[in-house]
């Protein structure tokens, strides 16, 4: 049963607004929240579908439905209230999305696109077929297959869940044959989770790009950025990436062709490895706004979120130009379980030029994304100094 929160609560009646369009977002985390804020700026309403009433996006949306975004019932209720449905994550059963499309609802990205992206092995095969470089990989059905892949590709190897991985949770590094059993167990291989292996890429840098593609399939590209992960989680983003013009152009071209290969509509993130020999391979594609593009809110003329809204509504796309020579984004991650209240905000806000974003999560946890900070500067060093100093002031949880 899907409960319409605002319809049930006497203090939160469904507001009447003059919005010309309504966007439904399946998923209510920080990405949905930042999409909803961008939509509101243009005078559009958003309705969120999330499993819990308390979620980051609900606080800034017109209305929230409490229900499962991975159920046909929940998605149908959402679709009936809006002009277009979009997604905050790629973990939705594509049959539900296809059912909405069959009923004439607009869904962007489409069921077909999500189907090509949500299984990382299928995604990489799709990219390979489109002539794009990806790490060497193999599907595996059991531990013997992993051992055989180790023989063929060499150790270390990455064992990865084909679906539902995020923030590195679906990844395990296999350094030798002895690691295979534990890695297989940890990723749920015995429980029937589909896994695959991929060569370990000794990269010199991780690059990423956001591309927004409109309903007319015309696209705009943001600058190529460098991302730095800690424990497989994005920690910092430097825009633009400090790479030569030829590398930047190659990365941008790979990003553009990758989103074309899956017939993207909306803002997509493309993660890449820059290898020691200069080769660029695609790590993965995210069919949604992406952490590597949060800096665009302050640093670009039109953010990845606003362009996503424009794209799914069929509106002209905005300029992706940087408004400063450099920008750095630092994620604010939780360190341990506890209440989600931010501490140290006053000191953080005293750092000139740094922009603080808090997602309003009621609970924090180890590695949980609680907010981010972006700083602009005349150089990457200057921006990184301000962003890091500001982010260093903020903690989450109890005072004790
Ligand atoms: N084949 C590989 N070789 C070397 N490092 C890798 C490889 N695959 C992943 N990594 C490292 O682990 C990080 C997370 O991997 P990946 O992007 O596959 O996971 P994810 O769970 O989808 O992450 P997220 O959702 O945070 O993007 C990468 O950014 C990279 O630092
Ligand atoms: Mg990733």
Q: What is the CATH number of the domain that holds 190?
A: 3.30.1490.20
Whether 194 maps to a domain, the answer reads yes
Check if 314 has its Cβ closer than 6 Å to any atom of ligand 1: no
To test the pocket of ligand 1, the residue of 232, 279, 287 to mutate (highest count of ligand atoms within 8 Å of its CB) is 232
Alpha helices in the chain (DSSP H): 5-8, 30-41, 72-81, 94-102, 111-117, 120-129, 143-153, 180-186, 245-261, 296-299, 304-312, 345-349, 380-392
Mean pLDDT of 171-193: 95
Torsion of CA 274, 278, 280, 281, to 10 degrees: -80
pLDDT digits (tens, 9 = 90+) for 331-343: 999 999 999 999 9
Q: Are residues 173 and 239 in the same domain?
A: no
Q: Is 203 helix (H, G, I), strand (E, B) or coil?
A: strand
Check if 153 has its Cβ closer than 6 Å to any atom of ligand 1: no
Q: Are residues 54 and 86 in the same domain?
A: yes
Q: Is there a contact between 87 and 109 (Cβ–Cβ < 8 Å)?
A: yes
Q: Is there a contact between 210 and 290 (Cβ–Cβ < 8 Å)?
A: yes
Q: How confident is the model at residue 167 (pLDDT cuts 50, 70, 90)?
A: confident
> What local confidence, expressed as pLDDT, does residue 9 receive?
44
Judging by DSSP bridges, how do beta strands 219-221 and 203-213 pair with one another? antiparallel
CA 18 to CA 157: how far, in whole Å?
Answer: 54
Q: How confident is the model at residue 15 (pLDDT cuts 50, 70, 90)?
A: low
Question: What average pLDDT does the structure give for the chain?
Answer: 94
Number of domains comprising the chain: 3
Whether 120 maps to a domain, the answer reads no
More confident residue, 190 or 5: 190
Q: Are residues 96 and 62 in the same domain?
A: yes
Whether 309 maps to a domain, the answer reads yes
Q: Are residues 16 and 160 in the same domain?
A: no
Query: pTM above 0.85?
Result: yes
Whether 346 maps to a domain, the answer reads yes
Q: Which of 87, 107, 127 is a domain's end point?
A: 107
The percent of residues above 90 in pLDDT, for the chain, comes to: 92
The range of the structural domain enclosing residue 297 comes to: 203-396
pLDDT digits (tens, 9 = 90+) for 60-104: 999 999 999 999 999 999 999 999 999 999 999 999 999 999 999
> What local confidence, expressed as pLDDT, does residue 19 receive?
77
Q: How confident is the model at residue 7 (pLDDT cuts 50, 70, 90)?
A: very low
Task: Measure 14 CA to ligand 2 centroid, in angstroms.
Answer: 38
CATH number of the domain bearing residue 44: 3.40.50.20
CA 133 to CA 135: how far, in whole Å?
Answer: 7
> What local confidence, expressed as pLDDT, does residue 5 receive?
45
Check if 206 has its Cβ closer than 6 Å to any atom of ligand 1: yes
pLDDT digits (tens, 9 = 90+) for 272-317: 999 999 999 999 999 999 999 999 999 999 999 999 999 999 999 9
Q: How confident is the model at residue 397 (pLDDT cuts 50, 70, 90)?
A: confident
Query: End-to-end CA distance of the chain, in Å?
Result: 40
Q: Are residues 225 and 181 in the same domain?
A: no
Q: Are residues 186 and 227 in the same domain?
A: no
pLDDT digits (tens, 9 = 90+) for 211-249: 999 999 999 999 999 999 998 899 999 999 999 999 999
Q: Are residues 173 and 209 in the same domain?
A: no
Looking at the CA of 158, name the nearest ligand: 1
* Distance (Å) of CA 343 to CA 43, 336, 346, 354, 398: 32, 14, 8, 16, 8
Atom 13 (ligand 1) nearest CA: 232
Task: Measure 225 CA to ligand 2 centroid, in angstroms.
Answer: 14
Looking at the CA of 173, name the nearest ligand: 1
Task: Measure 123 CA to ligand 2 centroid, in angstroms.
Answer: 13
Check if 284 has its Cβ closer than 6 Å to any atom of ligand 1: yes
pLDDT at 12 over 60: no
Atom 25 (ligand 1) nearest CA: 166
């Amino acid at each position: 049963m899907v409960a319409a929160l605002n319809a049930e609560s006497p203090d939160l009646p469904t507001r009447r607004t003059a919005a010309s369009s309504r966007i439904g977002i399946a998923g209510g985390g920080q990405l949905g929240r930042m999409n909803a804020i961008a939509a509101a700026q243009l005078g559009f309403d958003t309705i969120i579908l999330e499993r819990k009433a308390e979620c980051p996006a609900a606080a800034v949306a017109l209305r929230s439905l409490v229900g499962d975004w991975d159920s046909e019932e929940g998605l149908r209720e959402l679709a009936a209230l809006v002009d277009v449905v979009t997604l905050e994550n790629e973990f939705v059963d594509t049959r539900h999305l296809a059912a909405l499309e069959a009923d004439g609802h607009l869904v962007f990205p489409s069921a077909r696109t999500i189907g090509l992206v949500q299984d990382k092995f299928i995604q990489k095969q799709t990219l390979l077929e489109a002539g794009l470089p990806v790490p060497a990989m193999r599907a595996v059905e059991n531990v013997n297959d992993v051992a055989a892949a180790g023989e063929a590709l060499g150790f270390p190897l990455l064992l990865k869940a084909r679906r539902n991985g995020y923030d590195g949770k679906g990844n395990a590094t296999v350094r030798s044959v002895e690691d295979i059993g534990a890695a297989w167990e940890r990723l749920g291989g015995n429980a029937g989770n589909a896994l695959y292996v991929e060569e370990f890429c000794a990269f010199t840098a991780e690059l990423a790009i956001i591309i927004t593609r409109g309903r007319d399939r015309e696209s705009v590209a943001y600058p190529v950025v460098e991302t730095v992960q800690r424990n497989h989680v994005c920690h910092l983003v430097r825009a633009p990436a400090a790479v030569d013009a030829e590398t930047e152009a190659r990365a941008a071209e790979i990003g553009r062709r990758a989103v074309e290969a899956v017939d993207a509509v909306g803002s997509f993130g493309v993660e890449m490895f820059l290898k020691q020999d200069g080769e660029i391979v695609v790590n993965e594609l995210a069919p949604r706004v992406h952490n590597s593009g949060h800096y665009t809110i302050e640093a670009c003329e039109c953010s990845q979120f606003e362009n996503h809204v424009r794209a799914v509504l069929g509106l002209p796309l905005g300029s992706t130009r940087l408004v400063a020579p450099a920008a750095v984004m630092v994620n604010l991650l939780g360190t341990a379980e506890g209440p989600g209240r931010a501490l140290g905000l006053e000191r953080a806000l005293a750092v000139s030029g740094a922009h603080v974003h808090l997602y309003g999560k009621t609970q924090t946890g180890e590695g949980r994304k609680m907010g981010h900070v972006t700083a602009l500067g005349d150089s990457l060093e200057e921006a990184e100094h301000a962003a890091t100093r500001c982010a260093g002031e903020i903690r989450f949880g109890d005072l004790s």
